[in-house]
Amino acid sequence: MVVVIIATILLSIAIPAYTSQIRKSRRTEARTAVLDLASREERFFSTSAAYTNSAANLGYAAFPAQVGSNYYQVNVCSPACNAGGPAAPSFSVTATPVAGNGQDKDTQCASFTVDSTGRQSALNSSSTDSTATCW
């Protein structure tokens, strides 16, 4: 009986800690996805002298597009539509967790953004800047 109680206590501590670490490790997928999409925008700009909102021009079927293991979706906005973003021509790429897969419970890093100037930012679930924690 004592062994069962001790095991229960250990599991009640270990499982939430493990889940938190899994969520943190999946953030890499979001950062990689926004940087990849930003590089595709720059490649498009180098041949067209303009940024695009077209998913097809950037190698996707549609936006928002689920990426990697489908824990995040990315979207692009041109000209940049984020608050305080650079003037046109510009773009911003944002990754947000896909609802219902567990990653949407990551309250520290609810979105990742890169804009055409290379500025990286992140917001928590309260829309407060969490760039230092997430990037």
Write down the pLDDT at residue 82: 60
The pLDDT of 52-66, averaged and rounded, is 92
Classified as helix, coil or strand, 81 is coil
Beta carbons of 94 and 113 less than 8 angstroms apart? yes
Domains, the chain, with CATH or none: 2-134 (3.30.700)
pTM: 0.83
- 33 has a pLDDT exceeding 70: yes
pLDDT, one tens digit per residue, over 84-130 is 667 778 899 999 999 998 899 999 999 999 999 999 999 999 999 99
Collect contacts of 73-80 with beta carbons under 8 A, ≥24 apart.
73/97, 73/98, 74/33, 74/34, 74/37, 76/37, 76/41, 76/52, 77/53, 78/41, 78/51, 78/52, 78/53, 79/51, 80/115, 80/116
For residue 132, what pLDDT band results from cuts at 50, 70 and 90?
very high
**How many other C-beta atoms can be found within 10 angstroms of the C-beta atom of residue 119?**
15
